[in-house]
Structure 1
Amino acid sequence: MAATNQSPKANVPRQIAIIGAGLVGTALATQLVHAGKSVSISNSRGPDTLHDVERITGAKAMDAKRALSEADIVILAVPMSGILPLQPILQPSVRPDTILIDACNYYPSRDGKIQLLEEGMTESVWTSKTVSFLVVKALNNIIALNIASSAKPKGSAKRVALPVSGDDEKSVAVVMELLEVMGFDAFNAGQLEDSWRQQPGQPAYCTEPNLKELVALLSSANREGAGGKRDQGMAISQKLPPNFPPQTMVRIARLGAGLDWWKPQSWFAAIQLAYALAKASFKHTA
């Protein structure tokens, strides 16, 4: 895959609505507020359930319909099973010029099986068809708990690169500029159909690469066996204790993607994982 991170400069609108107040939505809200954006956050249960999220993130808890109608950018940060219920809300609320960012990922063990995705449809293509809006795929392949800690100033040696995929050039340019403002190098990864390369089970997923590494990881993506790797990764994460370090998971993901084999901390991370899984297995059988 050729490097296509060059994109027209675009002014990032200030008003951003995040739909979903879980780990991903909360982490994104925190980072976007830190970047000086006006952010609202909504969930399916209403703004009265989000007082703690408001306090933690600095975002404004808001009814989803109002948030959608006022936003310049909407970030979908819900399980894939939560996409279909959004369709009746999105249709009458979202303005034609609003940019929708799909930060979601498909995990059958959590979302239930979605037949078209099981048959190989690219996740964000399915989302776009389901909500009847063009979407831009971004912010789906970084561990939520690492969003703040991994963000770095422009030019930093260890700045993480994140892919952006979409069919509308102007929308992709705006989202790329948004990622740059958030503290990441943005890479134009092609059309929405190509965003399968950044889905769970692929080498670019949660490996926090630099720009050069990201290009190589996207190029090495392979659809064959990706679903099995995704499900295996989810099964492992479900066995880990809640306080298992997310940066250790990144090191393990990088090791699995063929990166950092020469680094002692990579193998120490693998030992930590093996120990945690053995401990979990012992507790289960005891």
Structure 2
Amino acid sequence: MMRPHTRDRQKNFSFYKEIDMKIGLLGTGSIGKTLARKLSEAGHDVKVANSRGPETIDADVLEFGARAVQATEAVVDVEVVILSIPLDKLPGTAGLISKLPPEVVVIDTSNYYPMRDGTIDAIEQGQVESLWVVEKVGRPIVKAWNAIFFNSFLKKGKSVGSPDRIALPVAADNARDKEVAMALVGDTGFDAVDAGPLADSWRQQPGSPAYCTDLTRDQLPGALAAAERPRLAKRRDLAVAVVSERLENVGDNFPDLDFAIAVNRAIYL
């Protein structure tokens, strides 16, 4: 059951701004572990799981009260499930996700990178990434937290009303699910911007002006509107090539992820 709380969130979230929620989180990569920390620190009841078992989850992920559990337990008695795993692994969650009660909000943070995920023909032929995910997991989702680099997500969150607070796009077909996700984005330190239905979520995919460019709430709507779908893959691959060339020259210890943001801004905006 949802528990009332008086924490200050963005003012346009009428109900969910005052609620702590029971959240199951699948994935402890860079975004997933930061989500576990930020959401539990904000007061939510967070259960977190990965594919290797709860004993492999680092103590710092649990610092603010998140609990390490098996994946099967993470999706039981929750109001929100967050999928923070590589896109090509999402079909493997269908057995857990498709059987969730319809009122549970499912949020996906993934992105398609063929050099990492392998070639997915449907997406290459034009299917929106989020709609591919819906087919594979067997239920509606919300797309959120996919359009920010780990370093920015970890370090650049600010309180509501702070100058230059970074904004993140949130896309969904269900208004209530979107409202929940937008409130949670606010709890992680970022403004949430309604990015429309899932059919339009290509506007926040890699290669788009809204993707990992650290824009503010005033800037992000224009970036979403300016996206050019036929150019996304080419721009995505160009940005990857530029950053990869830098990695080759400096070694494995990449010194500054702000360089990647600068590359994205130069290519995507």
> Partner of 1:255 in structure 2?
266
CA distance in structure 2 between the partners assigned to 1:54 and 1:176 by the alignment = 22
Q: Give me the TM-score of the superposition, normalised by structure 1.
A: 0.82
RMSD: 2.0
8 A contact 2:37–2:61 mirrored in 1: no
From 233, 237, 254, the equivalent of 1:231 is 237
Tell which has more relative contact order, 1 or 2 (C-alpha 8 A, sep 6+).
1
Shift of 1:58: 4.5
Q: Pick which of 173-182 and 231-240 moved more.
A: 231-240
Match of 1:127 in 2: 133
Look up the SS of the partner of 2:230 in the other structure: coil
Q: Please list, as runs of the form range in 1=range in 2, the aligned pairs for 1:205-284 lying within 5 A after superposition.
A: 205-239=211-245, 240=247, 241-258=252-269
Aligned to 2:115: 109
Deviations 1:180-228 (A, max 9, x none): 2222111111111000000001111001101121011111101112112
| Contact 1:207-1:254 at 8 Å conserved across structures | yes
Are 1:73 and 1:98, in contact at CA under 8 Å, matched by a contact in 2? yes
8 Å CA contact 2:38, 2:187 repeated in 1: no
Judge conservation of contact 1:7–1:173 (CA < 8 Å) in 2: no
1:62-102 superposed Cα distances (whole Å, 9 cap, x missing partner)? 1111111122111111111111111112233x222110111
Instruction: Report the Cα offset of residue 247 of structure 1.
Output: 2.4
Aligned match of 1:267? none
Alpha-carbon distance, 1:27 to partner: 1.5
- 1:195 and 1:7 map into 2 onto residues whose CA distance is 21
Residue 13 of structure 1 deviates from its aligned partner by: 4.3
Describe the shift of the 1:247–1:98 C-alpha distance in structure 2 as closer, same or farther (beyond 3 A). Answer: same
1:100 aligned residue: 106
Pairing partner for 1:70 from 68, 74, 77: 77
What is the letter of the counterpart of residue 32 of structure 1?
A: L
What residue is the counterpart of 2:15 in the other structure?
A: 10
Residues 119-141 of structure 1 show CA distances to partners (whole Å, capped at 9, x for unaligned) of: 11111111111111110111000
Question: Percentage identity across aligned positions?
Answer: 35
Indicate if the aligned counterparts of 1:13 and 1:72 stay in contact, CA closer than 8 A: no
Letter of the 1:243 partner, please give it.
Answer: F
**Residue-by-residue CA offset, 1:224-282 (whole Å, 9 max, x unaligned):** 12112222323344442433212232233223344xxxxxxxxxxxxxxxxxxxxxxxx
> What is the identity, as a one-letter code, of the residue corresponding to 1:181?
D
Q: Which residue of 2 aligns with 1:21?
A: 28
Say whether 1:171 aligns with 2:171: no
- Give the whole-Å Cα distance in 1 for the aligned partners of 2:239 and 2:266: 13
Contact kept, 8 Å, 1:6 with 1:188, in 2: the verdict is no
Are the aligned partners of 2:239 and 2:263 in contact in 1 as well (CA < 8 Å)?
A: no
Match of 2:45 in 1: 38
Question: Under a length normalisation based on structure 2, what TM-score does the superposition of the two structures give?
Answer: 0.87
Q: Which moved more, 1:227-236 or 1:186-195?
A: 227-236
* Residues 33, 61 of structure 2: 8 Å contact kept: no
Instruction: In structure 1, give the amino acid aligned to 2:189.
Output: G
Larger deviation, residues 225-234 vs 193-202: 225-234
Would the alpha carbon gap of residues 257 and 54 (structure 1) be closer, same or farther in structure 2, given more than 3 Å must change?
closer
Q: Retained in 2: the 8 A contact 1:9–1:177?
A: no
Partner letter of residue 10 of structure 1?
F
**2:48–2:67: 8 Å Cα contact kept in structure 1?**
yes
- Which structure is higher in helix share? 1
Which residue is equivalent to 1:136? 142
Q: 1-side partners of 2:123 and 2:255: how far apart?
A: 30
| Preserved CA contact (<8 Å) 1:142 1:207 | yes
Structure 2, gaps ≥5 residues long: 1-9
Residues 166/34 of structure 1: CA separation in 2 closer, same or farther (3 Å cut): same
CA distance in 2, matches of 1:44, 1:215: 36
**How many angstroms apart in 1 are the aligned matches of 2:240 and 2:193?**
26
Shift of 1:6: 9.1
Alignment correspondent of 1:190: 196
